[in-house]
Amino acid sequence: MTTATKQEAFDAVVVGSGAGGGFAAMGLAEAGMRVLLLERGRSFEPARDFPMNHPDWELRPRAFRDTEITTGDASIVLEEGALLDQRYAHLGSSSRPGEVPKPRSRREPFRYERVFGLGGTTLHYQGEAHRFPEHAFRPASLYGLGVDWPVSYADLAPHYERAEHVLGVAGDPANPFKPPRGPFPTPAHRLSYASQRIATAATNLGWTLLPNSLALPTRSVDGRRPCQRSGGCAQGCIFGAKSSVDLTAIRRAERTGRLQVQTESRVLALEMGHGGRVEGVVYRRAKSIFRARARVTLLAMGAVETPRLLLANRSASQPNGIANSSGLVGRFLLETLLAEVTVRFDERIDAYKGPPIDSRIWNFSRPSRDGSVRSGYVLGVSGTLGGFHGPLSHALLLPGLGRAHKDAMRSHFGTIVTLFGIAEQEPRAGNRVTLANTKDSDGVPLVRVESGHSDADLLALDAMLERVKELARASGTAEMLRQATTYDVPAASHVGGTCRMGTDPGTSVVTAYGRSHDVPNLFIVDASVLPGQGAGDSPSLSIQALALRTAEHIVALARRQEL
């Protein structure tokens, strides 16, 4: 390996270009700062790299498959999950249609879904763009779950609005479960036929099914094509319509001329200087090691890699790692609480036509203090979540051989939909990321992830599974093909909490502006800062709004010479 120092002086270096890093880089560059954005993965070209341009797209590996932790570069030591509470054995998952869930004693190994690439996990995400509801910022005071945030909905509202405009979010402002707001930048998607069917059942149950708010613009934004309703967001949008961060915030930042993006550059260490400040970062690109220096460093590697880097940078003066005087780096990991049923109708509903998650039911987002369930949760309808999408996935998943298989294809194709719920997990210090004894090829320690369920989590999973089954029955479905929950099979797509924000340096890692309590020129702008999960809503828009708020704060500090 050779070592070199990047000579240009940057005002800021941002590490990681996903939901948080991309938006922070944009916020800083648009405000006049010179920014270096270092991204471990490569950049993707939608028309060239994503598989849906080919008829056999369902058989092709996803473009970013090798960058996902489950299949490619493993950062987590795979080991058995937590012991399962057998009182909830009925929540067990089946993996194939018609299969009875197997009894297990432990959870499967922790499975973290993320992408290394310019745009981070937003390359893979389904574009749900949710403002967290007001109550989700005060869950401890209002219904006794977790901690209150050091920021309120009102603090974030202007940043939510800015992020929505950058993304061209499509939505309907008439959502009685959310704070009043102005129009969305682009009109809401029309409901798919499947969602219309399920809306009627929801109404009969006294619930309200509403169009989802999505970063899949219904009109052209910044010269990009509007969403073509192909349902392929998780494979990568071949039309470049999905508002992943590479096509939105990073492009805008590049237009300022003040952002330098460097892909395939993995940051390995932070360099500490006098006065407990970060002087810069050390990174590897191909076979060379580089150093980059900046006045301020922002970490945005996601809720596993950010604590990993901080914990791995131990020294005599910082025996617990960087920014970890509280001992909380890596703790209070929040994973995804998900329960779903995949069901079949007796007729075609063609749920695969339209955005992957085009509707949501928010009736259960606000728990009551007297209720048994203390986690807010949100139900949804998806044509693709259960694994059935186009003809080939049906052919692979449906049972039978020869004529029986052909008959199953004829009777099942276009009749299947998945009803699901996502809940807020109770934050607990014991759910955490720690360093393992083994190292990867760059010499960085792997991590162990310990994540189990509290009583509140199990009650929420149970309640969601019951509700989605209720919804399926009320919709007149013919058959339940499979159920899956994260009780036994983790599917951690919404991960956060490992460097949480707060006002007290004893109980949090960063301030309400993402600034380390210990290191004055170190900021964190990814999912790790989230103290909670928004009562079941999806996190990216909140990560993006918080990153914009942090960027604005850094600019103000720099102007006052306080960095």
Instruction: Using CB under 6 A, list all residues that contact ligand SF4.
Output: 216, 227-233, 237, 239, 241-242, 355
Residue 287 CA from chain centroid, whole number: 31
CB 420 within 8 A of CB 438: no
User: Binding ligand FAD by CB under 6 A: which of 127, 168, 236, 386?
Assistant: 127
Q: Does 136 bind ligand FAD (CB under 6 A)?
A: no
- 237 touches, from ligand FAD, ligand SF4, none (C-beta below 5 to 8 Å by class): ligand SF4
**CB 244, min distance to ligand FAD, A:** 9
Share of the chain residues as helix, strand and coil, in percent rounded to the nearest 5 = 25, 20, 50
Q: Does 383 bind ligand FAD (CB under 6 A)?
A: no
**CB 229, min distance to ligand SF4, A:** 5
CB 353 within 8 A of CB 196: no
Q: Does 426 bind ligand FAD (CB under 6 A)?
A: no
**CB 418, min distance to ligand SF4, A:** 16
Q: Does 382 bind ligand FAD (CB under 6 A)?
A: no
User: Binding ligand FAD by CB under 6 A: which of 526, 546, 549, 554?
Assistant: 526
| Residue nearer to ligand SF4 on the CB measure, 106 or 225 | 225
**CB 376, min distance to ligand FAD, A:** 16
| Residue nearer to ligand FAD on the CB measure, 243 or 477 | 243
Q: Does 494 bind ligand FAD (CB under 6 A)?
A: yes
Structure tokens at 358: 């085009």
Q: Does 246 bind ligand FAD (CB under 6 A)?
A: no
Q: Does 234 bind ligand FAD (CB under 6 A)?
A: yes
**CB 83, min distance to ligand FAD, A:** 26
Structure tokens at 11: 């005002």
| Residue nearer to ligand SF4 on the CB measure, 192 or 265 | 192
Taking CA atoms, 63 is separated from 59, 138, 160, 238, in Å, by: 12, 39, 30, 11
| Residue nearer to ligand SF4 on the CB measure, 239 or 413 | 239
Q: What is the DSSP string of 309-337?
A: HHHH---SS-TT-TT-TTS-TTBS-B--E
**CB 196, min distance to ligand SF4, A:** 18
**CB 39, min distance to ligand SF4, A:** 22
Rounded CA-CA distance 118/247 in Å is 9
Rounded CA-CA distance 545/283 in Å is 27
Residue 174 CB contacts under 8 Å (≥ 6 apart), including other chains: none
Taking CA atoms, 533 is separated from 120, 147, 179, 262, 381, in Å, by: 19, 11, 17, 31, 20
- 232 touches, from ligand FAD, ligand SF4, none (C-beta below 5 to 8 Å by class): ligand SF4
User: Binding ligand FAD by CB under 6 A: which of 29, 169, 238, 300?
Assistant: 300
**CB 132, min distance to ligand SF4, A:** 23
Q: Does 126 bind ligand FAD (CB under 6 A)?
A: yes
Q: What is the DSSP string of 243-268?
A: --TTTTHHHHHHHTT-EEEE-SEEEE
Rounded CA-CA distance 311/309 in Å is 6
Tell me whether residue 108 is exposed, middle or buried, using C-beta atoms within 10 angstroms of its C-beta: 0 to 12, 13 to 18, 19 or more: middle
- 211 touches, from ligand SF4, ligand FAD, none (C-beta below 5 to 8 Å by class): none
Query: Strand 416-423's sheet: what is its strand order?
Result: 209-211, 359-361, 377-382, 416-423, 337-344, 479-485
| Residue nearer to ligand FAD on the CB measure, 201 or 489 | 489
Rounded CA-CA distance 299/524 in Å is 5
